[in-house]
Amino acid sequence: MTSRLEIPDGSDFPIQNLPYGVAEHHGRTGVVVAIGNHVVDLSVLAAAGTFPEVPPGTFDRDSLDRFMALGRPVWKAVRSRLTDLLAGGDEPHRRNAVEAALVPMTDVTMRLPIRIGDYVDFYSSIHHATNVGRLFRPGSEPLLPNWRHLPVGYHGRSGTVVVDGTPIRRPSGQRLDPATGEPTYGPTRALDFELEIGFITGSGNVLGEPIQVDDAHRHIFGLVLVNDWSARDLQAWEYQPLGPFLGKSFATTISPWIVPLDALAPFRVPAPPQDPEPLPYLRPRRRLAFDIRLEVEIVPAGSSTGTVVTRTGFADMYWTMDQQLAHATSNGATTRPGDLFASGTVSGPTPDSLGCLLELTEAGRRPLRLADGTERRYLRDGDTVIMRGWCGHGSARIGFGSCRGTVESASTRP
């Protein structure tokens, strides 16, 4: 399929993608989709009568939550009509409406696309979980007994989820002084990134009614890139016995574009086998993953030259999104439009496919050398981390845009 617009070769946003976001332009904020180097203002198309199944005012908002609450049949209808319009071959008055709705991407400022009610972070890569277990619990079995039986996760802090480009303030907290064996308070000395994929829920479930694993995809609106920033020294001191807290809750960055599941459907692949077989409520009829390629670049402070420090893939995650959502609601808990569920760090089996500095540097023991000649055990003030993800290649590349953040120095307040 081709678009009436000229799409640059290798663009993340061909007509097969059409990801959703929220943009500010010309003094107003509303829901848009990306195509090539433009965004389409959906409120302009809605005012022209393009989406009769969408209630008035749905796209004149600073979040996608109301649209996501309408459910999969409406999502599919809107996507189908957008595709037809942008492919051409329609009536002149509708073609004029599309042209009126187009805004150059350089003229907009992207905002956080959702109002996140709840945020859950999972721990779903067997490679990452095994590596971290060896680093944090040397001499013990790296995977705890429950890990292969359920998608391990924790509730994060939704109020500190920010959009691509937001500066990240270095957090302070308690960390253990190895020389004295006593805790001290101060800025983290082990600031890390975590490469993740997140899914956003749309229409939710009724309190007390779990989402079945084979119905989970009907509740998932789309996917985003996630950087779940981590302060490893704070985390190591506080995480036992209840798990992550201040070492994670200070910031989480997501990409501004939510790529719909329908755009990613051609890139579904069989998920890796599970051993032992999970309990019946976590056994889908078809266990599928997404073949998403991922990379992380670090641009060091004071430099214009970045270094790609990892390249990995999402397809071999041990627990799938359907299993994660089924498990998260298996006790009757609810989801709402705009809830964010992150995968946990995406790591592969090879040394160059690890999704965080904790693994890449073996907890700081083996520093990385960057292109400018400097080394990194963990992130320094002024460093910029850029995450990218995509499926396919060439004119059919389905991309997520970028997920970036630059580290700022810690607050001077005690």
Architecture, CATH, for domain 119-408? Alpha-Beta Complex (3.90)
The mean predicted confidence, pLDDT, of the chain is 95
On whether the pTM is more than 0.85, the answer is yes
- Give the lowest-confidence range in 84-88, 246-250, 335-339, 388-392: 84-88
Which tokens go with 303?
């430099």
Q: What is the pLDDT of residue 338?
A: 96
pLDDT digits (tens, 9 = 90+) for 166-176: 999 999 999 99
Reply yes or no on whether the pLDDT at 227 is more than 80. Answer: yes
Q: For position 2, what pLDDT does the model report?
A: 64
Q: Which of 5-14, 17-26, 405-414 has the highest mean pLDDT?
A: 17-26
Domain with CATH 3.90.850.10 in the chain: 119-408
Superfamily of domain 20-111: Fumarylacetoacetase, N-terminal domain (2.30.30.230)
pLDDT of residue 243: 87
Catalytic residues: 128
> What confidence score (pLDDT) does residue 94 get?
63
* pLDDT of res. 412: 83
- The mean per-residue pLDDT over the stretch 396-405 comes to 95
- The predicted pLDDT at position 24 comes to 97
Residues of the chain with CATH 2.30.30.230: 20-111
The whole-number pLDDT of residue 393 equals 82
Confidence of residue 29 (pLDDT cuts 50, 70, 90): very high
